[in-house]
Amino acid sequence: MTDPYDTMLAGIKSLIAPLNELQQQAAQACAPIVEHIIRSRSCDAQHIERTLDCLLDCACHPDGLAIFKSLCRYYFTLNPAATAAYVGYYREMWDSDTEVEQ
């Protein structure tokens, strides 16, 4: 006899798998944009912040987080306060309570 909890968990995992793939694809799509921003030494705050907004959605995926961090490191030299705010948004969205306490 199957456990209802296991059945529910399997259903949730099957729903999450496509979302995880979409987040990875979004991160890969943003990678060239971030590379261009950094390579060209862009100072366009609106463009950088729009890109950071998009990256927040996929920062739960390791690829997305790496790209988000690289853009934050770059943007910190231009606008430390805004960068700190984006790090805060990331923590609100993706950090668990146990990670914050540690």
pLDDT above 90: percentage of residues in the chain: 58
Please report, for residues 23, 46, 47, 93, the alpha-carbon distance to residue 17 in angstroms, rounded to integers and kept in the order given. Answer: 10, 32, 30, 19
Q: Who wins on pLDDT, 61 or 89? A: 89
Domain boundaries, the chain: 4-101
Q: Could you report the per-residue pLDDT of 26-41, keeping only the tens digit for each?
A: 899 999 999 999 999 9
Q: Is 4 helix (H, G, I), strand (E, B) or coil?
A: helix
Q: Which of 80, 92, 51 is nearest to 68 (CA)?
A: 51
Which pLDDT value is given to residue 98? 47
Q: What is the DSSP code string of 49-73? A: HHHHHHHHHHTTSHHHHHHHHHHHH
